């Protein structure tokens, strides 16, 4: 059985954020880190080289594959931020309609810059995503 490629690392979140370019993305990453810490109550952990995760869960699929993954988090990518709301099975359309300018992936949300969205609505979305995830697989602190 294959292992997850994205796993926790020893890299510090602060050091990673300090390397984010351009500066506007770095500043957004600092704000996102603060929002995620406040909403989740979890300390962040680097997952792979570029994902900042808050909390984690253990999953077991019907196929028998199992593993651990971040409960929620983000990655400050050059083009746009990727915000992870796991596992991505619930329709949060009512919240997303109030969020602001974004695009959706399967379990992630793409935002060009934080000025495009309402951070209070993002906080609501993070809470809703964690509650949904916790119903299927218990969320643990990091």
DSSP track, 9-44: -S--HHHHHHT-SSHHHHHHHHHHHHHHHHHH-PPE
The string of pLDDT tens digits covering residues 48-63 is: 999 999 999 999 888 8
Q: Is residue 8 part of a domain?
A: no
- Residue 131 domain-assigned (yes or no): yes
For residue 63, the domain's CATH number is 3.90.1150.200
Residue 17 resides in a domain: yes
- Tokens encoding 17: 């954020």
Is residue 53 assigned to a domain? yes
Q: For residue 31, give its domain range.
A: 13-137
Note the pLDDT tens digit of each residue in 100-116. Answer: 999 998 778 999 999 99
Domains: count for the chain: 1
Q: What is the pTM of this model?
A: 0.94
């Amino acid at each position: 059985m294959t292992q997850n490629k994205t796993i926790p690392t020893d890299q510090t979140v602060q050091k990673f954020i300090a390397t984010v370019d351009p500066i506007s993305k770095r500043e957004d990453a600092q704000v996102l880190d603060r929002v995620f810490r406040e909403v989740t109550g979890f300390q962040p952990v680097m997952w792979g080289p570029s994902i900042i995760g808050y909390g984690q869960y253990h999953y077991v699929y019907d196929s028998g594959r199992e593993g651990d993954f971040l409960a929620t988090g983000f990655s400050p990518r050059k083009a746009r931020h990727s915000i992870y709301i796991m596992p991505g099975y619930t329709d949060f359309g009512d919240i997303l309609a109030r969020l602001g300018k974004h695009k959706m992936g399967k379990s992630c949300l793409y935002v060009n810059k934080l000025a495009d969205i309402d951070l209070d609505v993002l906080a609501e979305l993070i809470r809703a995503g964690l509650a949904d995830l916790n119903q299927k697989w218990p969320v643990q602190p990091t």
